Amino acid sequence: MSNSVKGRPSRVGDAPAFRRALIGIVLTLVAIVIVAPLVVIGYQAFSQGIAVYAAAIAHPDTLHAIGLTVVTALIAVPINTAFGVAAAWAITKFDFRGRRFLLVVIEIPFSISPIVAGVAYLFVYGLQGLFGPALEQADIKILFALPGIVLASMFVTAPFVARELIPLMQAQGRDLEEAATSLGASGWRTFFSVTLPNIRWALLYGVVLCNARVMGEFGAVSVVSGNIRGQTNTLPLHIELLYHDYQTAGAFAAASILALLAVVTLVAKVLLERQGAGRARRRPALAAPVAAPKTASAEVPS
Amino acid sequence: MKIRLDNVVKTFETFRAVHGVSLEIESGELVALLGPSGSGKTTILRMVAGLEYADAGHIYFGAEDATDIPVRDRGVGFVFQHYALFPHMTVAENIAFGMKVSKQRRDKTAIDARVADLLRLVQLEGLAERFPGQISGGQRQRVALARALAVDPKVLLLDEPFGALDANVRRDLRRWLREIHQELGITTLFVTHDQEEALDLADRVVILDKGQIVQQGTPEEVCRNPASAFVMNFLGDTNRISAAVAGGIARLGEAQIPAPGFADGPVEIFLRPSDLGWSSSGAGIPATVARVIDRPAGRRILALTATGEAVELDVAPETQVSAREQGIITIERARVYAAG
């Protein structure tokens, strides 16, 4: 369709030379910036053979790092999902003072460097921090332990679910909930049988993005975890440690697992987008199952 | 169920939407709340439903004070302007929703039977398994009505029920809603900004302006005796001409219009286009034709009077008239209101 027919003047920006140059530049950049590093990860991971790769992954420290990453995600993602749904519901269905302010606050983790969050947690929960002495007396360990890692991950990924839901729920308005309530449904019933089915794809999409970010988070976690090998190292931290130890194959083997997680996320994301999640299509459930007698007749040239 | 509103007030932020409205709706009556946008009609409807709480005043359902009963327990059927059908449920599931969630337990066969009854009532028997996205606007409207009726509401409330439909569908649905109301006898209150819809459908029309009731009565009462210039203007096309009263008579050109009860001084005279005629002689207002617009029911003349006022009048389709023609506008009926 975009091929210009000979003899016809090209549309704006459609001159052949321009097209080729633009496509060429984009492809080159993609190759250098995105594809090459991924290929290198795969190549380096297996550079010393499958046996070394398997051994690197089977190393107790690596296995522990994988386990810690999964546990962190298992705690942080559900909590942030609940938070995101609650925040989106509050912001879109209620009128209250400070609604706009809350909307901005939720976005802070997006714009702030994760390392700042890590340092902030140090000041709050660290030994010299705000609650440090009290926590130490009660013998509760937050920093350099799982709770700190989970908290830092949660801070960084707090906006993901809410940001997916808010535009969708704003577009859907309050009519459906009002209709359900006027028909006698309780608040919970309204949420589970009316609200949730209409936001389910966007919600899953937000959860997938949130999960990817939790598993990959480096900066904030690096500050609060203390980098104790085999104890508080998550997978990204473990990769950095191996690399600094000149265990290149091990580092790349561990990295390949994170990359694999990314690919799974990507596939899930594409599948979800097909179901109408994401921000481009606002009324997924309406758009999806419509049989098309109208479009069929529209295709017949009149 | 009789509904009574007693001095109800609602304010949004700083904007006063409803200004102390008192209203009685008899059991089984079909009442229209008619007004321009911003007149507070939808806010009143939502307060009767319990979707908004009144800041002051009381709402009674029968003898019971319903002011503070939440919408869930109020027992009203509400039909939303954009239907608010649940898009992920079929037509049948939409209609059954209220029965499934109600505190009063019903078994599945009873619910299914009721859904089938309601589908028959709204003439959508074949569409039970369709989704709302697969049916037309008029059909969605009828599903929304069936869903509201399924919970046996004490009162049926409709917010601009035909606002989003095209003209033909709207006329059919109007007749049909009237029939359903006759059949069920349920107290019904609906909101509209379309005077034709209100007059066509309602037993009684309540006209609102700026959060207050300006007139209420049967369609005949409000049409024949508009209580104010606003009502006169809002109910249909009208020409407004300033004039002066002397000795109980207002003069417009050669025409004399009785204005009993008005003191000498300026008044405003309202003339419906259909109450005017076009003639070559007689006692009336001398005018020049500016343009003629042809319509199925007749011809509308846009005329300019000798004093420079634009007047529109409707004449019979056979009338021979063309632009720049001079003649006399004759007046069959006119209404006089105080100036201002």
Mean pLDDT value of segment A5-32: 82
Q: Which amino acid is at B251?
A: R
Q: Does one domain contain both A86 and A203?
A: yes
- Picking from B12, B48, B52, B72 by the largest number of A CB atoms within 10 A of its own CB, the best residue to mutate is B72
Phi-psi region of B308 (alpha: psi -120 to 50; beta: other; left: phi over 0): left
Tokens of A90: 């509050």
In this structure, of A37-46, A204-213, B150-159, the range with the lowest mean pLDDT score is A37-46
Count other Cβ atoms within 10 Å, centred on residue A205. Answer: 26
Same domain membership, residue B228 and residue B305: no
- Neighbouring CB atoms inside 10 A of A186's CB total 13
Q: Are strands B56-61 and B64-65 parallel, antiparallel or unpaired?
A: antiparallel
Kindly report the number of other CB atoms within 10 A of residue A245's CB atom: 11
pLDDT at B21: 94
- pLDDT, position A276: 61
Both A110 and A41 in one domain: the answer is no
Specify whether the CB–CB gap between B15 and B180 falls below 8 A: no
Q: Which of A183, A198, A199, A294 to mutate to test the interface with B (most CBs of B within 10 A)?
A: A183
Which residues on chain B are in Cβ contact (under 8 Å) with A181?
71-72
Mean pLDDT to the nearest integer, A81-102: 91
**A151-164 core/surface letters (b: 16 or more CB in 10 A; e: else):** bbbbbbbbbbbbbb
Instruction: Indicate if A40 and A83 belong to the same structural domain.
Output: no
Helix axes B108-121, B137-149, angle to 10 degrees: 130
- Both tokens of residue B52? 């908004």
**With 60 as the cut, is the pLDDT of residue A289 above it?**
no
Q: Which residues of A touch B77 (CB under 8 A)?
A: 182
Q: Which tokens go with A123? A: 């000041």
Residue A77: both structure tokens together: 């993602």
Report if residue A294 sits inside a domain. no
pLDDT of residue A293: 37
DSSP secondary structure code for residue B155 in this structure: E
Per DSSP, chain A holds a count of helices (H) and strands (E) of 17, 0
Domain end among B201, B233, B265: B233
A114 and A32 together in one domain: no
Q: Rounded mean pLDDT of A47-71? A: 89
Higher-pLDDT residue of A290 and A61 is A61
CA distance A273 to chain B (A): 18
Percent of chain A with pLDDT over 90: 36
Write down which residue in B186, B206, B233 finishes a domain. Answer: B233
Cα B110 to Cα A227: distance, rounded to the nearest angstrom: 64
Identify whether residues A32 and A129 lie together within a single domain: no
Domain termination site, one of B197, B218, B233: B233
3-class secondary structure, B239: strand
Tokens of A132: 């440090």
Do B184 and B265 sit in the same domain of this protein? no
% chain B with pLDDT above 70 = 99
**Tokens 């997006």, residue?**
A110
How high is the mean pLDDT of chain A?
Answer: 83
Domain that holds residue A102: 50-283
Cβ-defined contact of B101 to A189 (cutoff 8 Å): yes
pLDDT for residue A5: 53
Per-residue pLDDT of B137-193, as tens digits, reads 999 999 999 999 999 999 999 999 888 788 888 888 888 899 999 999 999 999 999
Instruction: Give SS3 for A144.
Output: coil
Q: Domain tally for chain A?
A: 2
Cβ contact B88–A198 (<8 Å): yes
Buried b (16+ CB within 10 A) or exposed e, B30-47: bbbbbbeeebbbbbbbbb
Secondary structure letter of residue B259 according to DSSP? -
Q: What percent of chain B has pLDDT over 90?
A: 75
Which of A93, A182, A275 would best serve as a mutation to test chain B binding (most B beta carbons within 10 A)? A182
Residues A144 and A27 in one domain: no
Q: A102, A256, A293, A90: which is closest to A187 by C-alpha?
A: A90
B263 shares a domain with B219: no
Taking CB atoms and an 8 Å cut-off, how many pairs form between chains A and B? Answer: 75
- pLDDT level of residue A273 (50, 70, 90 thresholds): confident
Nearest CA in chain A to B144: A179
Q: Is residue A97 part of a domain?
A: yes
Same domain, B228 and B241: no
**Are A59 and A122 part of one and the same domain?**
yes
Residue A287 at interface with chain B, using a CB cutoff of 8 Å: yes
Do B149 and B141 contact (CB within 8 A), yes or no?
A: no
- Same domain for A213 and A273, yes or no, is yes
Across the interface, of A182, A183, A290, the residue whose CB is closest to B133 is: A290
Q: Which residues of chain A make contact with B72, given a CB cutoff of 8 A?
A: 181-182, 184-186
| pLDDT (mean) for B246-272 | 89
Range of the domain at B316: 237-338
Chain B residue numbers touching A178 (CB-CB < 8 A): 51, 71, 78, 80, 84
**B57, B158: one domain:** yes
Degrees (nearest 5) of the Cα angle A58, A59, A60? 110
Confidence (pTM): 0.80
Q: What is the pLDDT of residues B195-227, one digit of tens each?
A: 999 999 999 999 999 999 999 999 999 999 999
**Same-domain check for residues B124 and B91:** yes
**A5 in a structural domain:** no
Q: Is residue A300 part of a domain?
A: no
Does residue A274 belong to any structural domain of this protein?
yes
Report the distance separating Cα B95 and Cα B140, nearest Å: 11
CB B11 within 8 A of CB B182: no
What does the pLDDT average to over A57-66? 90
* pLDDT value for A297: 36
Contact between A180 and B86 using a beta-carbon 8 Å cutoff: yes
CA distance B180 to B216: 24
Whether residue B12 is found in the same domain as residue B101? yes
pLDDT at B269: 93
Q: Which of A265, A276, A270, A103 is nearest to A199 (CA)?
A: A276
Task: Supply angle C-alpha A283, A288, A291, rounded to 5.
Answer: 130
The reply to whether A4 falls in a domain is: no
User: Which chain B positions have a beta carbon within 8 Å of A96's beta carbon?
Assistant: none
B73 or A6: whose pLDDT is higher? B73
Both B332 and B223 in a single domain?
no
Q: Residues A93, A212: one domain? A: yes
Confidence of residue A145 (pLDDT cuts 50, 70, 90): confident
Domain tally for chain B?
A: 2
Between helix A248-274 and helix A49-58 the angle, nearest 10°, is 80
Task: Label residues B292-322 b or e (16+ Cβ within 10 Å = b).
Answer: beeeeebbbbbbebeeeeebbbbbeeeeeee
Pairwise CB contact (< 8 Å): A179 & B131: no
Q: Which of B97, B114, B130, B155 to mutate to test the interface with A (most CBs of A within 10 A)?
A: B97
Are B219 and B325 in a shared domain?
no
- What CATH number is associated with residue A150? 1.10.3720.10
Same domain, yes or no: B78 and B213:
yes
pLDDT of residue A291 exceeding 90: no
> In chain B, what residues touch A184 (CB-CB under 8 Å)?
72-73, 98, 101-103, 151
Provide the pairing of β-strand B276-279 with B265-271: unpaired
Q: Which of A180, A181, A286 sits opposite B87 (nearest CB)?
A: A286
Whether residues B101 and A180 touch (CB distance < 8 A) is answered with yes
Give the CATH number, domain containing residue B292.
2.40.50.140
Out of B84, B102, B150, name the one closest to residue A179 (CB). B84
- The answer to whether residues A24 and A85 belong to one domain is no
A302 inside domain: no
pLDDT at res. A286? 42
Both A62 and A112 in one domain: the answer is yes
Q: Are residues B186 and B262 in the same domain?
A: no
Of the candidates B287, B282, B315, B318, the residue with the CA atom closest to the CA atom of residue B301: B315
Q: Which of B72, B85, B102 faces A181 most closely, judged by CB atoms?
A: B72
**Domain identity same for A36 and A92:** no
Considering only CB atoms, A175 lies closest to which of B71, B74, B80, namely B80
CA closest to A196 among chain B residues: B88
What residues have CB less than 8 Å from A214, skipping those under 6 apart? Answer: A72, A73, A76, A77, A80, A153, A156, A157
The per-residue pLDDT of chain B, averaged, comes to: 92
Segment A215-223 mean pLDDT: 90
**Model confidence over A106-125: pLDDT tens digits?**
989 988 899 998 888 888 88
Which pLDDT score, from 0 to 100, does residue A129 have?
78
Mutate to test the interface with A, among B86, B115, B160 (most CBs of A within 10 A): B86
Q: Is residue A275 part of a domain?
A: yes
CATH number of the domain that residue B146 is part of: 3.40.50.300
Same domain, B181 and B267: no
